[in-house]
Amino acid sequence: MGLIARAIEASGVATTSLTSAWSITASANPPRAVFNDFPLGHTAGVPGDREMQLAIARSALEAAWTMPEPGITVLDHQWPGEWRDDARGPVDHRTERLETPQYQNEDDRAAAIAAHGEGPACGC
């Protein structure tokens, strides 16, 4: 996402990124990012915590007006519970990189085929 942020900013539109992966974001060096120390897959907040999700989105957007120079700003939200051992350990959530459209459930697949046929994914 850092490459996308850099390209959009270079085209003249300000960007602000959420991140929970410090090293990946720092390496890509986007214009602005706000960091939450959360397990991956929850960049925008704790599930069901609407007030935290609102605060995170607001902080990220305000960063586009308040950060004086490129960098990563740390937010102080706390993840409920310990998660770092899993993140540093051998648990790997990657699955086979299938080349056909994948769906959350079979109802989605049926609805997509009904609407679009069996063809390749559209660029929309």
Partner 1 sequence: MQMPPDGLDAVDYIGVTKAAYDALGYDSYRWAHNDEPPAFVTPNVDLADAKVVIIASGGVYRHGDIGFTHKDDTTHREIPADTADAALRVTHFAYDQTAAQEDPSVVFPLQAVRRLVDDGIVGSVADMALTFMGGIYSQRRLREQLIPTLVRRTHELGADVALLVPV
Question: What CA dihedral angle connects 67, 39, 4 and 73, to 10 degrees?
Answer: 10
Q: Out of 80, 81, 82, 93, which residue is the one contacting partner 1 (CB under 8 A)?
A: 93
Please report how close the Cβ of residue 110 comes to partner 1 at its closest, in angstroms. Answer: 10
- Is the separation of the CB atoms in 39 and 78 below 8 Å? no
Q: Out of 80, 82, 94, 106, which residue is the one contacting partner 1 (CB under 8 A)?
A: 94
Task: State the DSSP string of 57-76.
Answer: HHHHHHHHHH-SSSEEEE--
User: How many residues lie near partner 1 (CB under 8 A)?
Assistant: 89
Rounded CA-CA distance 54/52 in Å is 5
Please report how close the Cβ of residue 68 comes to partner 1 at its closest, in angstroms. Answer: 9
Task: Report if residue 106 touches partner 1, rule: CB under 8 A.
Answer: no
- Residues 40-69, interacting with partner 1 (CB under 8 A): 40-48, 50, 53-54, 56-58, 60-62, 64-65, 69
